[in-house]
Structure formats: C-alpha cells, structure tokens
Amino acid sequence: MSNQMTITFPDDWHIHLRDNDALKTTVPHAAQSFKRVIVMPNTTPPVKNRQDAEAYYARIQKHIPEGSDFQPLMTLYLTPDTTPEIIEDAKASGIVHAVKLYPAGVTTNSTAGVSSLKNLYPVFEKMAEVGLPLLIHGEASDPEIDIFDRELTFIEQELKPLHAAIPTLRIVLEHITTKDAVEFVLGANDNVGATLTPQHLLFNRNSLLSGGIKPHLYCLPILKREIHRQALIKAATSGNPKFFIGTDSAPHAQSAKESSCGCAGCYSALTAISHYAEAFERMNALDKLEAFLGHYGADFYGLPRNTETITLVREDWTPPDSYPYLENEHLIPLGAKQVLKWKVK
Ligand code: DOR
Ligand code: ZN
C-alpha cells in the first residue's frame, strides 16, 4: 500500500465562508485546501442577485492570500421573489455559477428561502436554458416531519416532481445523508449529481448522540443511521461521477455550538481532505479519491479540471484544538483532538 499520493488539486463544491470579519479566517483556510469553492449564499442578508454577488465576491477577494490563485465561485440564494431576469443577469456576470434552494426554515439563515417550488418553475426553466445548476438543501420544511425523515420526504414531495417536470435542469442534491438520496440520484438522468460531506461519510447518529451529545458533529441534514452512512460511502467510492466532494464546511463560533441551542454545522475546511482520504481508505478505494476530490465536480459544472496537484502522505497528525475566529471566538475543526491518518504535504 502506498504511503504517498499525488492527486489533482481539489475543489470544494459546497462551502460557507460567512461575511465581513469572518472572511479573514475562512478565506485563507479555504484557499489552503482548495483551488475553487462554490460559496454558499446564506449570509445575512443573503446574496439575492448579481449586485449582491459582485459585492460579496469583492469582499472575499480582499482576503485571498498573496500569490494564491484561489477562486470563489459565487451562488445566488433563491427566494420567492427571484425572477427569470435575475437569473439571466446573474449568468451574464460570469461570476455566478449556481443558484441555491433552501426550503424556508430548514437550516441556518434559511428564513428567506422558498416554501412553494411550483411558483418558481419559470425561474427553473430559465436556469435550465442558461445553464445554471440548482443546488438543493433537500429537506422538507414542515416542522411536523420527523427530523430523520426530512430528506426522504423532500425527495418524494418536491424533488421527483421537479426533475420530472424539467429534466434539463442540472441539479446538485447537496450534502446527501440517506440511501434514499443515493437511490434517487442513481435513478435520475445525468443532469443530477450529489455532494457528500466528510462527516456524513465517517459518522452516524450514534457518533452524535451516544455516550454524550457531540455539538461539533451536529449539522443539517442531521447524521443518520449506519445503513445510510454505508450507502453514502459506497456511492462516494463507486467511481460514479454523479457523486463528488462538497464539504459543507460551516463556521460557527465555539460558543454558538456549545450552547443550550447549538448551531448546525461542522467546520472542516482544513481537515476535510484528510477525512475523505481516511473514509476512502477504509473502503480500500484510495484509487477513487482523486476523481471524487478533483475531477467529477469540475466536470459537472462544465469547468476545466485543475492542473496543479497536492501530495497526501500517510502520517498521523492531530489538528489544532481550535482556530482563532472573529473577536475572542474560536472555531473547533472537525477532527479536533483526533488522530488523522493522512496529511496534506
Ligand atoms: O449544518 C449546516 N450548516 N447545514 C446547513 O444547511 C447550513 C450550514 C450553515 O450555514 O451553518
Ligand atoms: Zn451548507
């Protein structure tokens, strides 16, 4: 077994950078691990149109380290007021690469999201026409639905009808967490792909809830049963180009995570590559890692694959307990206090 791997420089097709002072930390971290990142638009206020995206892009640019060719790929936040004109304008900007759908109320900063997809079909038609993918947080927004069933309910009630109505719309089902999502993606046409996070490949709901609650493993969609994790890792390591990296690295200050009402999100910007390598190795599938991290996402988005490389070495290391964040706050990385087996050189 090889102790060193040189692979295409990875991209991250789903990351949260937040805004303003947070960017001082999140942008250099993202730039250390990834060449390009799809930047989520659930800032406060959200990124709703071309002007917002251009202004946010400029704020991010200020924090890209000297000499780095890191590239933020911007997204719009779909609201009930999004119009086909907004889509055309965003596409014309050249910096907006996708549109994100948050069902209203499902997660962090999603109150401006959408309750009825039907009204937005003209917007989806326009996205299909101009070639902007729809990125979906696939959870039903009805609070009555059990939190462990929300992904499946969304797929049945919203996603299947949408894909059937507009099969030319490119869709990424983000951070999938169930075997049902894997089955949907496999059964859909080639316009449908999915991202997978490190935490959903490595952990299940026991990891979150058994032997003490682990706030730093709390994210949305929530970790599921082991049979679901197994379906996810099988999909990720299958070599099927529909499944690719999207860390969902989501910074929340330690005080907001370790709280009586803790925020959802795992911060993995600096550890995700190591986590994915470990998950793939456990499946004896290190030969599939490069394409998952560095090829399939670019192909799906119609962008060139990166030509630069990174080298991973098999070497035990422990991430820092925390990183400084904002004023007097900290970010706790996914994998804090654990020994990780692969290190980026
Ligand atoms: O765990 C999550 N955190 N899931 C999301 O969908 C949003 C994200 C965030 O923005 O913190
Ligand atoms: Zn996210």
Taking only the tens place, the pLDDT of each residue in 79-108 is 999 999 999 999 999 999 999 999 998 888
Rounded to the nearest angstrom, the distance between the alpha carbon of 222 and the centre of ligand 1 is 10
248 among known catalytic residues: yes
| pLDDT for res 2 | 80
Residue 338: HSE in the Cβ half-sphere, 13 Å Cα cutoff: 13
Q: Is 108 in the pocket of ligand 1 (CB under 6 A)?
A: yes
| pLDDT for res 112 | 84
Residue 323 CA: distances (Å) to CA of 118, 166, 254, 269, 336: 43, 44, 10, 11, 10
Q: Is 294 in the pocket of ligand 1 (CB under 6 A)?
A: no
134 backbone dihedrals φ, ψ, rounded to 5°: -100, 120
CA–CA gap between residue 62 and residue 179 (Å, rounded): 41
pLDDT < 70 positions in the chain: 1
Rounded to the nearest angstrom, the distance between the alpha carbon of 52 and the centre of ligand 2 is 19
Nearest ligand by distance to the CA of 195: 2
Residue count of the chain:
345
Q: Which residues are in the CB-under-5-Å shell of ion ligand 2? A: 248
Nearest ligand by distance to the CA of 43: 1
Q: Whose CA is nearest to atom 7 of ligand 1?
A: 108
Q: Is 97 in the pocket of ligand 1 (CB under 6 A)?
A: no
Tokens matching residue 31: 């730039």
| pLDDT for res 1 | 61
229 Cβ contact list (under 8 Å, min separation 6): 200, 201, 202, 203, 204, 223
CA–CA gap between residue 203 and residue 216 (Å, rounded): 12
Taking only the tens place, the pLDDT of each residue in 54-79 is 999 999 999 999 999 999 999 999 99
Please give the number of the atom of ligand 1 that sits closest to the Cα of 263: 11
Q: What is the pTM of this model?
A: 0.98
The active-site residue, picked from 12, 19, 248, 299, is 248
Q: Is 256 in the pocket of ligand 1 (CB under 6 A)?
A: no
Compute how many other C-beta atoms are within 10 angstroms of the C-beta atom of residue 132: 23
